[in-house]
Chain A
Amino acid sequence: MDTLRVATVWLGGCSGCHMSFLDLDEFLLELAQKVELVFSPIVDVKEYPENVDLVLIEGAVCNEDHLEMVHKIRRRTKAIVAFGDCAVTGNVTAIRNQLGRGNAASVLQRAYLECADLNPQIPKEPGIVPPLLERVMPVHEVVHVDYYLPGCPPPADRIKALLEQVLAGAEPKLAGKDIKFG
């Protein structure tokens, strides 16, 4: 079997899922021998590559960069795993959706103007700072997701359970407490 080409991506999330991934400890060494990590926040590759076998997507789709990215990921990847509650449900990042239309503007105003002690201003840098979407979406609302790995964050042994199934060539399937939200 060819080495599995694996990627991990960080969209609208707190990076907790990636921290949990690093919590895999010595399993990471085993993993490093069996897969090639082709793209990740912990790998210095700028462009999401072609022909990825499996990607773990952390975070919800919150801004225009994320939107473009998930479509690119879908085109270039065989299997997408929604990695963690933000990717699976929108979770905390999607709370702003409750504010209805115009929520993007009101959260920016709250965070960068009302709560700012110094230099209140909304960050704006066309081409660099991506505009927020009107509505935060879980990944499967935008593109087809193959597998779900819930949890905030998913505990390391849950991530391991899924990866071991993939490495064994099986269709990953988590059940019971391994799919508990929160």
Chain B
Amino acid sequence: MAAKTLTIDGKEVSAAEGATILEAASDAGITLPTLCHLEGVYDVGACRMCLVEIAGTPKLLPACTTQVSEGMNVTTTSERLQQYRKMILELLFAERNHVCAVCVANGHCELQTLAYRQGMDHVRYDYCFPKWDVDITHPLYGMDHNRCILCTRCVRVCWHIEGAGTKNVAGRGAKAQIITDLFQPWGESDTCTNCGKCVMSCPTGALFYRGATVGEMERDRSKLEFIVTAREKKQWIP
């Protein structure tokens, strides 16, 4: 594969053709804030946290779904990008009900961590306070729609790592939600294999192991990494 040469934050880097800006940046030791990106499953560009500036393009583009090209000049940190990232986080908090103090993921939540890293000390928009349910029909896991940011990580691991295809997205806009099968209670799903990969993948407190209480929901991603390594290296390396 041909290599492409580009500039990221003033640094000359080279990346394989077809690589994303996110991959090229990470190889060059530049970390970008991400939420919907999960190592091992394909990217969808759902959260827009990884937006970057590309010289000559007026639009901001997500680093996780934009491929590198020859001579590209990328900026990953600027006042404008900071503002947008903070705004996106505030909108995520305003859209559903995030009460960190009583959340299973408190202290282990990627949304919460990003919020303080990006300097979000309050939310400027009015909270929507929508009414959402918690599905605890599954014997092992629960789904709290109040905490879901619709990153679709759970859907992607369910379809493309487990191959079960249980998790899906239904509805549009503010009414969009994660469903199981054809909108059944999770506990009644015929396709769910009880593997728990969706729970491992979730960045927030939306998917949890039943029995976990406030702040207890620590995720073990090693199982996902194990499978991803096996797929990429064709070897089972624990």
Contact = CB atoms under 8 A, between A and B. Distances in A.
How many residues of A sit at the interface, in one of the four size bands? 20 to 34
Contacts of B100: 85, 152, 180-182
Nearest to B123: A89
Contact of A92 (B93, B102, B119): B102
Nearest to B214: A182
Contacts of A140: 122
B97 A95 contact: yes
B119 A182 contact: no
Contacts of A175: 116, 119
A179 B116 contact: yes
A12 to B, nearest CB: 14
Interface string B136-154: 0000000000100000000
Contacts of B99: 89, 91-92, 95
A48 B14 CA distance: 64
Interface in A148-182: 148, 150, 152, 174-182
Nearest to A88: B122
Given A97-B127, A182-B106, 13 more contacts: A89-B99, A89-B127, A94-B127, A98-B97, A98-B132, A138-B123, A150-B122, A175-B116, A179-B115, A180-B100, A181-B101, A182-B101, A182-B215
A150 B15 CA distance: 41
